[in-house]
A and B are shown apart, each in its own frame.
Chain A
Amino acid sequence: KAGVTQTPRYLIKTRGQQVTLSCSPISGHRSVSWYQQTPGQGLQFLFEYFSETQRNKGNFPGRFSGRQFSNSRSEMNVSTLELGDSALYLCASSLGVSGYEAFFGQGTRLTVV
Chain B
Amino acid sequence: GENVEQHPSTLSVQEGDSAVIKCTYSDSASNYFPWYKQELGKGPQLIIDIRSNVGEKKDQRIAVTLNKTAKHFSLHITETQPEDSAVYFCAASYSGNTPLVFGKGTRLSVIA
Contact = CB atoms under 8 A, between A and B. Distances in A.
**Do most interface residues of chain B lie in helix, strand or loop, or is the interface mixed?**
loop
A43 B34 CA distance: 14
Interface residues of B, number: 25
B12 interface: no
Give the interface residue-count category, chain A. Answer: 20 to 34
Contact of A43 (B32, B42, B49, B89): B89
A98 B99 contact: yes
A106 B40 CA distance: 10
A42 B6 CA distance: 12
Contact of B103 (A42, A56, A102): A42
Contact of A98 (B95, B104, B105): B95
A105 B98 contact: no
Contact of B95 (A35, A99, A104): A99
A107 B41 CA distance: 9
A96 B96 CA distance: 8
A97 B43 CA distance: 20
B99 A100 contact: no
Nearest to B91: A99
A98 B102 contact: no
Interface string A1-44: 00010100000000000000000000000000101000000110
Interface of A: 4, 6, 33, 35, 42-43, 45, 48, 56, 58, 90, 92, 96-107
